[in-house]
Structure 1
């Protein structure tokens, strides 16, 4: 597929604006897109204990759309949801990628560390495959809360011993450049923007949980359109009521992400705009405490 420099600059401009970067970043982002388009930035995408929600989120990308993103920019060695290869052909594709090395390893889903047989690829446990793939990668990107911190698969009683990629690598004594992109699912701009930065700029500035600060540096609460209602103590206590959703269990007060600024499904909406409270899906503790409900409802008014 032949593309001009103008095409790369145009698409890079969209990404730079979406990521809130200064215009000076434009040439480097265009270079990153060119490398991705011409196969100079191969990506190996592996999936552990997951629902494939982050893959679906990636396909919700706009400007470029999913077709351009997959066929033009992401040089995928393999992707369990998107790749046409199955059986021995799929196994061979992964083996060739690992043998060649030098790729960015994107991991979706948690790693079963106790019951390793709970997730297998071909005849290999995913935990073992992950370690082999990570050793040959230039960087590892844990996409989604399951890959970053364990997420839903790691919720009690966690019979599989599900854990995030970072925990799995540390247990094996393996140190690799690693980035966490939590969210259930991760936003497509977080994924593509991070890949572009790793390619041409290097590792982004990360917080204590290895999350890029450009996406996770502020509390949702501080950027919420209902913040004024919170200050006025105007709270909704039941579904459909007007007011801040804090009393219904909104976790925006302890969750760091830029959902409110970025929007989902093409920037159309996000949880609060849809009148649902934030369930804290980008938090390291997401789903890990059974006493911490996603929603708090007034049971007296349900019926």
Structure 2
């Protein structure tokens, strides 16, 4: 497949703008796209305990779009949702990738350490497969809150002992370059942009929770269009009312992500613009405290 340099520069420009990076990085990002397009930067995508929501989110990518991602840029060794291979062919593809090494390992979903048999690939527990694959990876990208911190699979009572990838690898005594992209699901720009940066620029600047600071460096609350209403203490107390959604349980005050600036579904909408609370899906504690509901409703006005 022959693609012109102009195409790489155009798509790289869209990514650089979406990520808020310096324009001087444009040539390197174009090089990264070229490496991915011609198979010089393969990706092995493995799935643990998950709903495949981050894979679906990836297919909502805007720049480049899903067709370009799958046919032009993503040199996928294997992806359980997108790959056509099944049975022995799928197992062989994964084994060949692990033996060759040098790939970026993308992990979607939590790791069951309490009941390892709760998630298996062929005859191997996912936890064991993850460790083998991580040893041969140049870097690991944990896509989604389940992969990063445990997420919904780790919600109490967590019978499977589900946990995030970094904890699973630490328990196995393995240390590898690792990036967390929490979100339920992770935004496609977070995924694609991070892969581009790892390929050509190196690991992005990370915070203490191993999240890229250019995506997770600010509270949603600080960038919320309802922030002025919060300052005026003009709060909605029931569904459909005008006002800041803080009293309805909005977790934007404790959630770090750039949803309010980036938007979802091509920038069309996001939770607050749709008059729903931020449920804090990018928080490490997401779904882990049964006493901390996603929504608070005024029970006096329920029917």
TM-score (normalizing by structure 1): 1.00
Give the corresponding residue for 2:5.
Answer: 5
Give the corresponding residue for 1:264.
Answer: 264
Structure 1 runs (4+) greater than 2 angstroms displaced? none
Give the corresponding residue for 1:61.
Answer: 61
Give the corresponding residue for 1:276.
Answer: 276
Matches within 5 A, 1:157-236: 157-236=157-236
Point out where structure 1 has 5 or more consecutive residues left out of the alignment: none
Q: In 1, Cα distance between the equivalents of 2:144 and 2:121?
A: 20
- 1:255-278: CA deviation from partner (whole Å, max 9, x where unpaired): 000000000011100000000000
Secondary structure of 1:77's aligned partner: strand
Q: In 1, Cα distance between the equivalents of 2:64 and 2:212?
A: 22
Shift of 1:63: 2.2
Secondary structure of 1:85's aligned partner: coil
Q: In 2, Cα distance between the equivalents of 1:62 and 1:97?
A: 28
Secondary structure of 1:49's aligned partner: coil
- 1:156-207: CA deviation from partner (whole Å, max 9, x where unpaired): 0000000000000000000000000000000000001000110001111100
Give the corresponding residue for 2:147.
Answer: 147
Give the corresponding residue for 1:298.
Answer: 298
Shift of 1:146: 0.0
Give the corresponding residue for 1:247.
Answer: 247
Give the corresponding residue for 1:82.
Answer: 82
Q: In 2, Cα distance between the equivalents of 1:280 and 1:126?
A: 27
Point out where structure 2 has 5 or more consecutive residues left out of the alignment: none
Q: In 2, Cα distance between the equivalents of 1:46 and 1:37?
A: 20
Give the corresponding residue for 1:14.
Answer: 14
- 1:109-157: CA deviation from partner (whole Å, max 9, x where unpaired): 0000010000000010000000000000000000000000000000000
TM-score (normalizing by structure 2): 1.00
Q: In 2, Cα distance between the equivalents of 1:300 and 1:81?
A: 45
Give the corresponding residue for 1:91.
Answer: 91
Shift of 1:21: 1.2
Secondary structure of 1:148's aligned partner: helix
Give the corresponding residue for 1:24.
Answer: 24
Give the corresponding residue for 2:125.
Answer: 125
Q: Given the alignment of the two structures, is residue 237 of structure 1 paired with residue 237 of structure 2, yes or no?
A: yes
Q: Given the alignment of the two structures, is residue 109 of structure 1 paired with residue 105 of structure 2, yes or no?
A: no
Q: In 2, Cα distance between the equivalents of 1:203 and 1:269?
A: 29
Give the corresponding residue for 1:36.
Answer: 36
Q: In 2, Cα distance between the equivalents of 1:232 and 1:29?
A: 43
Q: In 1, Cα distance between the equivalents of 2:61 and 2:70?
A: 10
Secondary structure of 1:106's aligned partner: strand
Secondary structure of 1:229's aligned partner: helix
Q: In 2, Cα distance between the equivalents of 1:17 and 1:118?
A: 41
Shift of 1:23: 1.0
Q: In 2, Cα distance between the equivalents of 1:92 and 1:57?
A: 27
